[in-house]
Amino acid sequence: MKYCCLIVFIFCTILSNAGIISGICIGTCGTKGVPCKETFGSNWTYNGKCCDDRPCCKFLKAPCVPETCPKGFKLLSNQTSSVNCYYTSGHKQVNWNTAADNCASTDGAYLWRPNTEQEANAVQNELNIHEDVWTGANDIDNDGNFTFAIENGSLSFNDLPFGEDFFNYNEVCVFIFKSGTSWFWLKSVCTDAYRYICEYKLRVCP
């Protein structure tokens, strides 16, 4: 019987030291006599005992905190096409790098990535944009692959999300414009000056 108890004790200790489920709790074993928050951080809580009397600690999921748009940004009146926040440069026109830097100056914001025609139409109407506007799409690395700045999504001129390719100039910065009811994507010299839109992905709680 003594040998049996010894085996159980050793088995229990191995499980605890490995941070695996042990005792009656599911979690990670902490330090005996020390609260879980002191061992692992403020997001951890006591969840019973491990088999060697150490606390069984459980990580608490951080609560979702709804956000509001950053200063100067606004939501679309009709959010069925996008729940993100948008900022417009107004009538100010700048080169692509300045536009990208201006957007990035707001933490979490980036130069616009139009995903659908519905979004583009809604943004155009909401922000009163009826001229050429920079997007975040670029191939500044000159590797033949266009991506959106900071957001890092890809853009293929062979498979545009909507609209059409308007001439295939060998340039590396991309703007978008609307003619009639159709949208067009155009590669341009990065030093050209156009209006720009910044986008901010709003955290939405379930």
Low-confidence ranges of the chain (pLDDT < 70): 1-24, 62-66, 168, 204, 206
Q: What is the mean pLDDT of the chain?
A: 85
d(CA 48, CA 53): 9
SS (H, E, C) 32-67: CCCCHHHHHCCCEEEEEECCCCCEEEEECCCCCCCC
- What are the tens digits of pLDDT across the range 109-166? 999 999 999 999 999 999 998 899 999 999 999 998 999 998 889 999 999 999 999 8
3-state secondary structure of 136: strand
pLDDT the model gives residue 59: 83
**148-180 burial string, b = 16+ CB within 10 Å, else e?**
bbbeeeebeeeeebbbeebeeeeebbbbbbbee
Nearest to 97 by CA among 195, 191, 200: 191
Distance CA 28, CA 54 (A): 10
How confident is the model at residue 64, as a pLDDT? 66
Q: Is the pTM of this model over 0.85?
A: no
